[in-house]
Amino acid sequence: MNGTRPRRRTDPVSVTLLVFPGVRLLDVTGPVEVFTSANDFGAHYHVRIVALEGTDVTTSAGTRISVDGRVDEVRGPCDVLVVPGGPQWETLVEDGALLDAVRRLSGAAERTASVCSGAFLLAAAGLLNGRRATTHWRFARRLARRFPSVRVQPDALFVRDGRMMTSAGVSAGIDLSLALVEEHYGGEVARAVAKDLVVFMQRPGGQSQFSVRSPLPSAPHGVLRGILDAVVADPGADHTLPAMARRAGVSVRHLARLFREEADTTPARYVERVRVEAAQVLLETGDDCMAVVARRTGFGSAESLRRAFVRQLGVTPGAFRSRFRTTSAERAAGSGPPPPPRTEPAPCRAPSSSS
């Protein structure tokens, strides 16, 4: 398959989706919707859903999915194999018959793609050995630990390595499918599908901007535990390495070594991560301007806050706020007129006495 030259619009593309009991519903319906919608804009996708036994399967949401046939009825090559995921991936990777089906179908496919935890099935089938891959941010570390030969990229929405493609959680299967439409039929068709489905053609940022707050590193050392807790308790305080070392009563070198050995990070990276997460909360829940958010979370300036957000999340603080502050449900329902366009930045309120 030539990824640089779109197919002719009359050239059909066959897509096979392998489903199983407990599959996640959107992992299946997201790609199906993209490919079938593309047919309305000049593409020619032939989509079939298969299962081991050829019987309908019940998804993790309790919804039944009709299938077109059994795996062993699939004959000849196909252009794309899509392997979705499911919450019970730990059981699925022990299912020898399912893994055999993945290997057989992938062997006849020009492109094999996974959605969310479907990457575990590809890895367990040996299809990702030595390759770059991704999965849902919540499972990325488990994928890396269980399959050390896979080079996991935890913040990517989808990863293409040779004929293998893997995508992040749930809706990232739509991102991956749009990329395939662009590969097969060109950017014009893919953009038309994205507009029709009201989704991004290419979402800004990576998975980290969508993840929940990072858990604290498990640090058994009492000295380091106290330092980690102090940073979380007051992100805006002085948390330079010398200041933290003084409070802990240890040398700078010793504290840096504790961070490296027990928290698997550096002091600066840990402090920045905590401050970014504290800023995320303020941006989601408050009206303070960027300068105030920056001061309250220890960044000092709006520019320092912006650089840290781009470095950690791949988006600016303003873009994060607009994306996660509210769904604007009332406005979408027509309960009131939208506010007038703002031509000047919002005035920066002074920090309250409690800040």
pLDDT at 17 over 60: yes
Is there a single domain that holds both residue 17 and residue 130? Answer: yes
Tokens of 252: 């700078």
- Using a 10 angstrom Cβ sphere, with 0-12 exposed, 13-18 middle and 19 or more buried, the burial of residue 316 is middle
pLDDT tens per residue, range 141-169:
999 999 999 999 988 889 999 999 999 98
Is there a single domain that holds both residue 293 and residue 190? Answer: no
Is there a single domain that holds both residue 226 and residue 197? Answer: no
pLDDT tens per residue, range 75-102:
889 999 999 999 999 999 999 999 999 9
Is there a single domain that holds both residue 227 and residue 165? Answer: no
How many domains are contained in the chain? 2
Is there a single domain that holds both residue 185 and residue 71? Answer: yes
pLDDT at 13 over 90: yes
Is there a single domain that holds both residue 239 and residue 201? Answer: no
- The predicted structure's pLDDT at residue 169: 82
Residues facing residue 51 across a β-bridge: 70
Is there a single domain that holds both residue 49 and residue 71? Answer: yes
Is there a single domain that holds both residue 196 and residue 231? Answer: no
CA dist list (Å): 30 to 129, 160, 170: 27, 19, 8
CATH label of the domain that carries residue 156: 3.40.50.880
What is the three-state SS of 210-255? HCCCCCCCCCCCHHHHHHHHHHHHCCCCCCCHHHHHHHHCCCHHHH
The fraction of the chain above a pLDDT of 90, given in percent, is 63
Is there a single domain that holds both residue 328 and residue 264? Answer: yes
| Domain housing 19 | 13-209
Is there a single domain that holds both residue 197 and residue 285? Answer: no
pLDDT tens per residue, range 101-125:
999 999 999 999 999 999 999 999 9
56 domain-assigned: yes
Is there a single domain that holds both residue 108 and residue 198? Answer: yes
